[in-house]
Structures are given as C-alpha cells and as structure tokens.
Amino acid sequence: MTTSSEAQKLIVVTGASTGMGASTARELARRGFHVLAGVRRDHDADAIRSAGIEPVILDITEPERVEAIAARVAADPRALHALVNNAGIQVNGPVEALPMAEWRRVFDVNLFGHIAVTQALLPALLRGKGRVINISSIGGKYAMATYGAYAGAKFALEAVSDSLRREVAPLGVQVVVVEPGGVRTEIAARGIATANDLAARMTPEQGERYGDLVQANNALMASGTASGLTADAAARVIAKAVTTRRPRTRYTAGRDAALIMRLGPFLSDRALDRILAANLRRHSPAPSGGARREAEAVSAEGRRMPWPSLRARR
C-alpha cells in the first residue's frame, strides 16, 4: 500500500507512450504518486496526461532531453522515489545479417540510454533514498535465434544492474530488475515489421540461410503476443517493485517467465538449443523429404521436455 508520505513523491517512468510504460504510469498515479511520464511526441503526451501524470518529452538517447528531466526533478521539492527505466525497442535479425547501425541503435536505446538517465537522476535518488527499476526481459537471461542485439543489450542491462546495486546499496538506493515474458504490447508488432524490413535487405545468400528462420520467429512472436500477459498485469508487478518496502533484487512478470527462469539453470546449453529449435520449427514453413523427418525428430524431443512455448519478449 502507498502511504500518505509516499503520495507526495515523484516517480520517473521512461517509455510511457504505450504498453507497459503507459500502464505503469497509470498504476503508480492511481496509487498516489506524481509520475513524470517520458514520451517522445506531443500527441503521446496528450494521450497520457491525467491526474497524477505529468508527461515529459524525453528521448533517452538525446543528452539535452536527459538533462532537462534531471533539471525538472531537481527543481521539484518532492523527493524522487523511483526511476523506472522502461523505454526500449525490439530489433530482430541474424547476427550475420543485422547491420552494425542497427546493433548500435538497439544498444543506444536499450542500454546506454538507461545508463544516461540513471546517471542524471542518481543525485536525486540518493537524496531521497529511492530506487532504480530496470525493465529487462527473459531475453536478458536466455537468447533465442535472431535476438542477438536485443538480448545482448538486455544481458548487459542485467550486469549493469548488478554492479549498480552493489555500488549504491550502502548509500540507501535500491536497484531492482523486472524480467517480463510475453506481454501484449505494441513492441512485438513493431518488431515483426522491423524484422521483415531488415530481411528484405539481406543478400540473396543470407536470405537463403535465414529466410525461414525469420519467418518462423515472426510467427512465434505473433502467436505468443496474443496469449501473453496484459500490460496492466505487468504494470502491477512493476508497481510492486516500486512500492514494496524491501523489494527483491529481481521479479519475473508472467507464468512463462517464471517457469523459464526456474527451469533454465537445470538445462545444458545443447538441451536448450534443441528445445528452442523445436519450438521454432513448429512455426516454420513446412519442410519436405529428409528435412521433414529431421524436424519431426527434433520436435518430438522438444515435446518431451518440460518447457513452455517461448513468447515474444518485452
């Protein structure tokens, strides 16, 4: 429960235009906090503006915008209770075929931008004995094919979170990681569109090697998103991390994430490779001849393992 003293505190939520960020902003405002909701466009600001929610134009990759949110917080007499680093993009493509500009863009948004905002707001968080909530993913622990850039940035965010937690815990600031599984947000649809665009730019040889893989992954994302956790449900997990007096260092969001995190450490890399390959094959264009028999054998082995269908990642 939010106390009357907490109701006078600020929270910054990045990536609050849609999805989990917007739902998190609304959930925290409902609990009485004053939320500075980072959005990138004026029409997104108009959509989310409401009691307890103050939209702020914020692109976490632009230093002047990061400096502006830090100045806004510093000028407010209320304490900064939490920073929720939620902004993110999903870009999928094979390691060989994904242009370096896309690798840099993913890391700029999904890692370096969060670090920049955290650095800018840490003085206020230290004064208020607040906390940092980093929104990671099951992809921050287990990387599927075509998720190299996205999962790489999330793996790095997990490591940065561990390091930061050990640095600032003695100073009274808590650092928490939230790891969602499949969530019904727009990020998966945007990811599919981006993957198709990047696939269209692959060389003929790369298309031959990876075309079916991209199609299978897109089909998996589309089917998994429809059955994933709602953004509102994920927001309640984030709100728990924000408001619990003694939060855990990590929270999962969704049954699939919880199951994967429990089972993953007990599987060898090769076993996990086979399971993930079988999961993708169920969404691949139908093979023929010997390829069909091989796919059926791998799929049968995958079905024998106690592993959930891996859904589109946050």
Residue 94 backbone phi and psi in degrees, to 5: -60, 145
- In one-letter notation, the amino acid at residue 118 is T
Among 144, 105, 117, 99, smallest CA distance to 12 is for: 117
Task: Kindly list the distances between the CA atom of residue 89 and the CA atoms of 113, 154, 304, in Å, as whole numbers in the listed order.
Answer: 12, 11, 34
Residue 204 backbone phi and psi in degrees, to 5: -55, -40
SS3 56: strand
Looking at the DSSP bridge assignments, the partners of residue 58 are none
Q: In what order do the strands lie in the sheet with 53-57?
A: 53-57, 34-39, 10-13, 80-85, 131-135, 174-180, 250-253
Among 117, 56, 55, 112, smallest CA distance to 89 is for: 112
Question: From start to end of the chain, where are the E strands?
Answer: 10-13, 34-39, 53-57, 80-85, 131-135, 174-180, 183-184, 229-230, 250-253
Residue 288 near residue 305 (C-beta atoms within 8 A): no
d(CA 273, CA 128): 45
The tokens describing 261, both together, are: 């995190």
Per the residue annotation, which of 142, 147, 150, 210 is the catalytic one? 150
Quickly count helices (H) and strands (E) in the chain. Answer: 12, 9
Q: What is the DSSP letter of 285?
A: P
- In one-letter notation, the amino acid at residue 6 is E
The tokens describing 35, both together, are: 């939320």
**Is 251 tagged catalytic?**
no
Residue 24 near residue 48 (C-beta atoms within 8 A): no
| Residues carrying an active site annotation | 150
